[in-house]
Every structure is written in C-alpha cells, then in structure tokens.
C-alpha cells in the first residue's frame, strides 16, 4: 500500500515520529518536575482570589465555603466574586453569604451585560483585578472545589520562587459514568503535558481554574490586551504574553497535591462538545510557534490514524498497519498517563486508557474541525467565531 501512496506514507511517518518525540519530551518533563514540599507556616503575601461566576447557583456556595476554610491568614487574602450577568440566584446567594461571613473580606461585583458580543470571562476578571488590593491574583471557577491548604501552598511557592505566573493542577472528581471517566483520563493527560512543557521551558497550556499571577505583571503586559475577539482564553493568552515579556522561567507549574483544584466532568456530549469547541476556537489567536506546531502534529496524527482505520474498510491491507500504529501510540502515551494518575492517586483510570485511544481520533478530529467553523453556546450565550467589535 505504501508503494502506491508514497507521499501519504512519508507524511504519516514524519508526523508519527514528531508525535513520539513530543510525548516523550513531555513525559521526561513531567517526571523530572519535582514535587514542591511545603515547610512554612508564616506568610506575607497579600492575595486576591477571583471567582468569575455566571449561573452557578448550585455550586458557588460550596466554593466559597472552601475559601473561608483555608488555613491561610484571613487578613492576608480577599475573595472577589464577579457575577457575570447571571440569570439565576447566583448574585443573591453570594450577597447573603457575604453578609453572614463578615469576618472575611468578600467583595461582590455585578457585571451587567449590555451586548452579547462582550468578551465575557476576560471582561469579568479584568474588572475584578481593578478592584483588587493585593499583590498576587489567584483565579478559580465558581464550580470548583479546593482543599484547605490551597492558598497557603500557592503562597509558599510564590514566596520561594517569585514567578510571574503559577500554573496549578486541575482534576475531575465525582465521576460516575464511563463517559465522565474517559474525560477524566484525557484531561489528566493534558495536565501532565502542561506541566512537562512548562518544566522544559516551552509552556503551551494552562487552566484558569487554578492560575496565579502577579498583579503588576498582568498590567505590565497590558492585561488580556487585544484578545477580546475570543469569548474566553483568559488563561492561555495571558500565559503567552507573560512568557514573551518575561521569558519562560517566569512560568512555573506547582506540583503539589494540596494545590489541586477539583472540578466536574461534563455530564453530556452536548456540554463537552460546547466546551471543547470553545477551547479549539481559541487556536486562531495563538501566535506561539510551539503551540501551533504541537496542535498541528497531534491533530494530523489522529487524522491519519482515523483515515487508516476507516480506509481499512475499503483497503484491507491498511488494517494491520492501523492496529500497529494504534498500539505504538498507546505505548508512547502510557508512561505519562501512569505518572499523572499516580500523582493524583487515580490509578483505576488507567483501565480506560486503551478504549480512550480508540475513541480519541474520532473525537479530536471532529472537535478540531468544528472549533474553527461553527457557532457555539457558552453559559447560555451564543458565541460566533468572529472578531468582537
């Protein structure tokens, strides 16, 4: 078959080798990244924890309770909740929570939606940062759960290394269905790749559910700047700006179990589709050659695997090469999956590794294509892939 399709086979071989090198590199980065061990019990850093919220009446009180139960001195941190034009009881719930917890510094800001073309989350976070009175900004989401040492672990890491931005680990929890468990393993692989890339000085991703950065550095690079044509992207776009301005050493990953933020997997394919299309749509705004190269290689490798698998229905000779290539990919992906599940103490998720490998090419090709073509909904608001005016 390869004799008749030399160009295709050569292209696939190059993409395959590039993918193997990337994953092995990130695997090396993950395992060479040492866990941060906390030692301090006295702190000096003033911190603003920012929570943008839209229609989170079911979960935001749990998040706020997690924050007021932190072991960090409450005089050194404030909580800023910015209600992003919620249409449910989010605002009133936070308002009542603030009234009943007056010993904590809680600010509540109401963002009124004037147009559906606002850059949503970035606008909310930017407004909260303007109201912040502290040196270090920590962002999380209103539907997340955190442990009692979350802030103190981040603060100690910051006081030890003084990075401009700290990327923290995020994990799913409370997974019940197979669908949710597949998401969890895939998401953990992204977290491990994120950490490995940062360790090697080539940051490519981060997650706004667990992100800390210097307020002065945020303003020095112009905040979120010109990326308002994208509804989200507050995390990666800021990461890239800080990396470009301050260098890759200004970016660090905090590998510590007390620093993990927990969120829930999507319950339906519709919710997952909307989230991943939104993530994919931001790729048009990336100007970083490393991110673009990795995205292209990962996409075309999975596309090639999919073509081989489907093509084997017409050309049976492709079946054996397709199986071999899937198996090689599984062996390449396995070490980093073992590493991250060991760190998160989620070993049982490895049982879903092989099924995920078969499903993933269909999923990534489908989402990657639609992310740059279609309109999607986020938090009940339509978003079209066009520049915001």
Structure confidence at residue 117 as a pLDDT band (50, 70, 90): very low
Alpha helices per DSSP H over 132-177:
150-161
Are residues 15 and 54 both part of a single domain?
no
Q: Is 269 exposed, middle or buried, given 0-12, 13-18 or 19+ CB atoms closer than 10 A?
A: exposed
* pLDDT tens digits for range 120-150: 678 889 999 999 989 999 999 999 999 999 9
Number of H helices, E strands in the chain: 12, 12
Q: CA-based angle 244:246:247, to the nearest 5? A: 65
Q: What is the CATH number of the domain that holds 75?
A: 3.90.550.10
Are residues 300 and 362 both part of a single domain?
yes
Look at 324 and 282; give whichever has higher pLDDT.
324
Structural domain includes residue 148: yes
Question: Which residues on neighbouring strands pair with residue 382, listed in sequence order?
Answer: 377
Using CA atoms, how far apart are residues 89 and 104, in angstroms rounded to an integer?
22
Structural domain includes residue 298: yes
Are residues 153 and 55 both part of a single domain?
yes
* pLDDT tens digits for range 208-242: 999 999 999 999 999 886 555 555 566 888 999 99
Are residues 250 and 159 both part of a single domain?
yes
Residue keyed to tokens 């193997």: 20
Give residue 78's Cα distance to chain centre. 24
Are residues 110 and 259 both part of a single domain?
yes
> Which pLDDT value is given to residue 235?
86
Are residues 257 and 306 both part of a single domain?
no
Total domains, the chain: 2
> Which pLDDT value is given to residue 388?
35
Structural domain includes residue 176: no
Could you say which DSSP state residue 43 is in?
Answer: -
Are residues 135 and 24 both part of a single domain?
no
> Which pLDDT value is given to residue 387?
43
Neighbours of 162 (CB within 10 A): 11
pTM over 0.85: yes
Structural domain includes residue 190: no
Give residue 162's Cα distance to chain centre. 22
Instruction: Determine the structural domain holding residue 358 and report its residue range.
Output: 6-30+289-372
Contacts with 347 (C-beta within 8 Å, 6 or more apart), sequence order: 341
Structural domain includes residue 198: no
Structural domain includes residue 173: no
Are residues 16 and 99 both part of a single domain?
no
Using CA atoms, how far apart are residues 307 and 313, in angstroms rounded to an integer?
10
Q: Is pLDDT of 384 > 90?
A: no
Are residues 41 and 139 both part of a single domain?
yes
Contacts with 127 (C-beta within 8 Å, 6 or more apart), sequence order: 82, 109, 111
Are residues 138 and 42 both part of a single domain?
yes
Are residues 112 and 215 both part of a single domain?
yes
Are residues 293 and 313 both part of a single domain?
yes
């Amino acid at each position: 078959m390869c004799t008749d399709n030399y160009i295709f086979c050569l292209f696939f071989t190059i993409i395959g080798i590039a993918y193997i090198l990337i994953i092995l590199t990130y695997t090396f980065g993950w395992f060479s990244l040492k866990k941060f061990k906390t030692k301090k019990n006295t702190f000096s850093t003033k911190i603003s924890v920012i929570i943008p919220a839209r229609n989170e009446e079911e979960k935001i009180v749990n998040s706020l309770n997690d924050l007021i139960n932190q072991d960090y001195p409450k005089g050194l941190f404030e909580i800023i909740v910015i209600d992003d034009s919620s249409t449910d009881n989010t605002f009133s719930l936070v308002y009542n929570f603030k009234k009943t917890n007056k010993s904590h510094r809680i600010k509540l800001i109401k963002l009124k939606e004037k147009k559906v073309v606002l850059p949503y989350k970035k606008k909310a976070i930017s407004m909260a940062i303007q109201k912040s009175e502290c040196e270090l900004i920590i962002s999380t989401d209103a539907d997340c759960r955190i442990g009692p040492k979350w802030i103190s672990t981040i603060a100690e890491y910051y006081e030890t290394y003084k990075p401009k931005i700290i990327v923290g680990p995020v994990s799913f929890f409370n997974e019940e269905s197979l669908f949710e468990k597949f998401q969890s393993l895939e998401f953990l692989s992204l977290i491990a790749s994120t950490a490995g890339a940062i360790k090697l000085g080539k940051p490519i991703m981060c997650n706004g559910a667990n992100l800390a950065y210097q307020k002065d550095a945020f303003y020095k690079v112009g905040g979120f700047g010109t990326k308002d044509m994208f509804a989200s992207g507050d995390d990666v776009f800021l990461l890239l700006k800080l990396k470009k301005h301050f260098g890759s050493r200004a970016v660090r990953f905090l590998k510590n179990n007390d620093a993990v933020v927990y969120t829930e997997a999507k319950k339906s394919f519709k919710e997952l589709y909307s989230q991943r299309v939104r993530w994919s749509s931001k790729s048009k705004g990336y100007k970083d050659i490393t991110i673009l190269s990795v995205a292209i290689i990962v996409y075309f490798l999975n596309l090639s695997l999919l073509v081989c698998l489907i093509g084997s229905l017409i050309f049976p000779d492709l079946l054996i090469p397709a199986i071999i290539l899937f198996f090689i990919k599984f062996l390449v992906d396995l070490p980093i999956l073992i590493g991250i599940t060991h760190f998160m103490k989620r070993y049982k998720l490895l049982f879903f590794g092989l099924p995920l490998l078969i499903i993933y090419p269909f999923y990534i090709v489908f989402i990657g294509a639609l992310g740059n073509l279609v309109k999607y909904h986020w938090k009940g608001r339509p978003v079209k892939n066009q520049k915001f005016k």
